């Protein structure tokens, strides 16, 4: 069970900035190191931007979680956009269907302790990440 949980909508660039700030604040609250805070914030930025730009908008749920004595921040990004037909391809460095760098998904995965992506063409995409203290 989560120690706390909040959901934020992602419909604009301002919302992306806002969820970045939430990630920073929650990471600081569990006393992640500054380096780990920045890793989580960078992943949040990339995934929130994907939710907005590729998913057509959606939401981020932030949870403060506990695993024995360890605390962590779990972030779930969801949208009801077009989904991703080939996840393996989407996770490759440099793969983009837009004009991005194609490093959002692959880079985010490297910046966190847990990374899970589920997507169904036509139904949407859910990406869940966890950074443990
Ligand atoms: N939420 C999403 N909904 C639909 N497609 C997505 C989503 N997130 C990522 N993708 C697909 O995966 C590709 C790779 O994403 P990413 O690594 O962030 O690169 P970029 O955003 O620079 O294109 C995107 O170009 C897009 O085709
Ligand atoms: Mg991206």
pLDDT value, residue 94? 96
Find, among 132, 127, 71, 75, the residue nearest to 104 by Cα.
127
pLDDT tens-digit readout, 16-67: 999 999 999 999 999 999 999 999 999 999 999 999 999 999 999 999 999 9
CATH match for 2-132 among 3.10.150.10, 3.40.50.360, 3.40.50.970, 3.30.565.10: 3.30.565.10
Mean pLDDT in residue range 62-84: 97
Pocket residue to mutate for ligand 1, from 96, 101, 118, most atoms within 8 A of Cβ: 96
pLDDT value, residue 51? 98
Residues with CB under 5 Å of ion ligand 2 are 50, 100, 104
pLDDT value, residue 73? 98
The secondary element (H helix, E strand) that includes residue 9 is strand 4-10
Nearest CA, atom 18, ligand 1? 104
pLDDT value, residue 1? 76
- Is-contact 68 62, C-beta < 8 A? no
Ligand 1 binding site (Cβ under 6 Å of any ligand atom) = 46, 50-51, 54-55, 79, 81-84, 90, 95-98, 100-106, 125
CA atoms within 13 A on the CB side of 61: 11
Q: Provide the percentage of residues in the chain whose pLDDT is more than 90.
A: 96
Sorting pLDDT into bands at 50, 70 and 90, what band is 72? very high
| Radius of gyration of the chain from its Cα atoms, rounded to whole angstroms | 14
Ligand number nearest to the C-alpha of 52: 1
- CA angle, 57 as apex, 52 and 59 as ends, to 5°? 105
Domain boundaries, the chain: 2-132
Q: How does DSSP classify residue 25?
A: H
């Amino acid at each position: 069970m989560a120690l706390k949980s909040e959901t934020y909508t992602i419909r604009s660039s301002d919302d992306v900035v806002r969820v970045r700030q939430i990630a920073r604040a929650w990471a600081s609250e569990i006393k992640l190191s500054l380096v780990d805070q920045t890793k989580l914030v960078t992943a949040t930025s990339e995934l929130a931007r994907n939710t907005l730009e590729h998913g057509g908008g959606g939401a981020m749920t932030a949870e403060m979680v506990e695993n024995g004595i360890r605390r962590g921040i779990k972030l779930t990004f969801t949208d009801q956009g077009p989904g991703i037909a080939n996840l393996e391809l989407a996770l490759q460095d440099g793969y983009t269907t837009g004009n991005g760098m194609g490093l959002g998904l692959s880079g985010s995965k490297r910046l966190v302790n847990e990374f899970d992506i589920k997507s169904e063409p036509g139904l949407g995409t859910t990406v869940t990440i966890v950074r443990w203290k």
